[in-house]
């Protein structure tokens, strides 16, 4: 007798085109029907991609037909239709009306670590707050959850009467972090399903209250792990942080590709560490300059702004006092506030 488990086990051999993850672990399999030797499977893609759908269908039918006892296999791969009115694409969450109480969820991504993704997330969160928005910050960086430190938050979430986690707050920004859930010094080996479950709980089991913006600091990179995070988190938009020298290396394109796969609109590019100003006022472009803007133009996405190298930015990060909070009127503070303004503009 054929079983659903057997069919799913066989389908694990079918990878999503271009990825090392299979269609089952991506959660694409919605329905398995077995009638004698006839097997029918329904899968649903989260983004419209006819080529991927065709390839998945062909490969899936092939592996099912190869199972002993199967006489016929029919695989239907559904693709999202036109976005719903007022919807933001075909991210499955977006269609469900997102998370109650949260108006916009924006992911911040980068090609690799160390380009200032967390610094940008923290300062943008504080800048949005500075501009009058209600803001939350979600640190999804499993490799190095650095945001609690940058936000000067040492306490962990508390538990409310109705058993929800209440995020600690500093500078008016509510924060949840992977870092709250692991023991400070102990390296934890996160496995894929565990990460997904935890991330889902950041929405179902956290009392965010009313938020205008929830910024999500993704782990660095644009691979499978980040992609499945983008599928798990109900995103409304994505921002890509790059340095000038990284911009031209295809990193921005990969970031755009990642968001496009899950139909998350790209809000734009931020170029960080753009240049350095000497005490004498001379501008030194250590990593070259303008790469982020040029790449944004090439890729047809918005350039949200540039942030130069400032000692105050690093010190603010290390000291848990973001520069936007301590010096909103300073040059680095203004750089972040201007980017936040563009994010708030209706076109972004």
Ligand X SMILES: Nc1ncnc2c1ncn2[C@@H]1O[C@H](COP(=O)(O)OP(=O)(O)O)[C@@H](O)[C@H]1O
Interhelix angle for 192-204 vs 224-232, to 10°? 30
Closest CB to Mg ion among residues 73, 178: 178
* 108/122 Cα distance (integer angstroms): 10
Stretch that binds ligand X, among 10-18, 111-119, 127-135, 167-175 (CB under 6 A): 111-119
Closest CB to ligand X among residues 202, 336: 336
Stretch that binds Mg ion, among 39-47, 116-124, 276-284, 327-335 (CB under 5 A): 116-124
150 neighbors 124 (Cβ within 8 angstroms): no
215 neighbors 123 (Cβ within 8 angstroms): no
The token duo for 259 is: 């968001």
259 neighbors 106 (Cβ within 8 angstroms): no
121 neighbors 340 (Cβ within 8 angstroms): no
Binding to Mg ion (CB under 5 A) within 134-173 occurs at 146
Stretch that binds ligand X, among 10-18, 51-59, 115-123, 228-236 (CB under 6 A): 115-123
Closest CB to ligand X among residues 88, 222: 222
Asked if 307 interacts with ligand X (CB under 6 A), we say yes
Asked if 89 interacts with ligand X (CB under 6 A), we say no
91 neighbors 84 (Cβ within 8 angstroms): no
CB of 222 to ligand X, least distance (A): 13
Asked if 99 interacts with ligand X (CB under 6 A), we say no
* 209/100 Cα distance (integer angstroms): 9
Of the candidate residues 111, 157, 317, 322, the single one contacting ligand X (CB under 6 A)? 317
Partner from ligand X, Mg ion, none binding residue 16, C-beta < 5-8 Å depending on class: none
* 294/248 Cα distance (integer angstroms): 9
Asked if 36 interacts with ligand X (CB under 6 A), we say no
3-state secondary structure at position 124: helix
Closest CB to Mg ion among residues 146, 299: 146
> In whole angstroms, how far apart are CA 321 and each of 119, 151, 208?
11, 6, 22
Of the candidate residues 113, 172, 290, 327, the single one contacting ligand X (CB under 6 A)? 113
Stretch that binds ligand X, among 57-65, 83-91, 108-116, 182-190 (CB under 6 A): 108-116
Asked if 146 interacts with ligand X (CB under 6 A), we say yes
Of the candidate residues 110, 118, 133, 242, the single one contacting Mg ion (CB under 5 A)? 118
Nearest to 150 by CA among 130, 125, 182, 185: 125
Nearest to 93 by CA among 267, 227, 230: 230
Asked if 309 interacts with ligand X (CB under 6 A), we say yes
Half-sphere exposure of 169 (CA within 13 A, CB side): 13
Stretch that binds Mg ion, among 41-49, 118-126, 270-278, 286-294 (CB under 5 A): 118-126
Asked if 243 interacts with ligand X (CB under 6 A), we say no
CB of 126 to Mg ion, least distance (A): 16
* 14/22 Cα distance (integer angstroms): 5
3-state secondary structure at position 35: strand
> Would you state the torsion angle of the CA atoms of residues 88, 92, 96, 98, taken in this order, to the nearest 10 degrees?
-60
Closest CB to ligand X among residues 114, 288: 114
Asked if 117 interacts with ligand X (CB under 6 A), we say yes
Closest CB to ligand X among residues 89, 219: 219
Binding site for ligand X (CB under 6 A): 110, 113-119, 146, 220, 272-273, 307, 309-310, 313-314, 317
């Amino acid at each position: 007798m054929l079983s659903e488990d057997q069919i799913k086990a066989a389908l694990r051999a079918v990878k999503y085109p271009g990825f090392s993850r299979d269609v089952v672990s991506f959660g694409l399999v919605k329905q398995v029907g077995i009638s004698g030797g006839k097997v029918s499977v329904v899968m649903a893609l989260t983004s419209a991609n006819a080529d991927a759908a065709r390839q998945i269908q062909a490969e899936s039918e092939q592996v099912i037909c190869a199972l002993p006892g199967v006489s016929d296999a029919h695989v239907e791969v559904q693709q999202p239709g036109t976005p719903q009115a007022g919807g933001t694409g075909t991210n499955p969450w977006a269609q469900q009306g997102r998370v109650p109480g949260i108006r916009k969820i924006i992911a911040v991504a980068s090609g690799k670590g160390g380009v200032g993704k967390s610094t940008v997330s923290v300062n943008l969160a504080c800048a949005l707050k500075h501009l009058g928005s209600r803001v939350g910050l979600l640190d999804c960086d499993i490799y190095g959850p650095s945001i609690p430190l940058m936000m000067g938050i040492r306490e962990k979430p508390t538990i409310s009467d109705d058993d929800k986690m209440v995020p600690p707050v500093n500078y008016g920004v509510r924060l949840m972090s992977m870092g709250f859930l692991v023991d400070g010094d102990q390296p934890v080996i996160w496995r894929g399903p565990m990460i997904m479950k935890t991330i889902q709980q950041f929405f179902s089991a956290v009392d965010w209250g009313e938020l205008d913006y929830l910024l999500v600091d993704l782990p660095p990179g644009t691979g499978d792990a980040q992609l499945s995070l983008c599928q798990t988190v109900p995103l409304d938009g994505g921002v890509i942080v790059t340095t000038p020298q990284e911009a031209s290396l295809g990193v921005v394109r990969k970031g755009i590709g990642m968001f496009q796969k899950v139909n998350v609109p790209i809000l734009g590019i931020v170029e960080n560490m753009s240049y350095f100003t000497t005490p004498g006022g001379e501008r030194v472009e250590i990593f070259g300059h303008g790469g982020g803007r040029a790449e944004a133009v090439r890729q047809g996405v918005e350039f949200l702004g540039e942030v130069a190298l400032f000692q105050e930015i690093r010190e603010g990060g290390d000291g848990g006092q973001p520069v936007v909070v301590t010096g909103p009127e300073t040059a680095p503070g203004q750089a972040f506030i201007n980017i936040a303004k563009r994010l708030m503009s209706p076109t972004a």
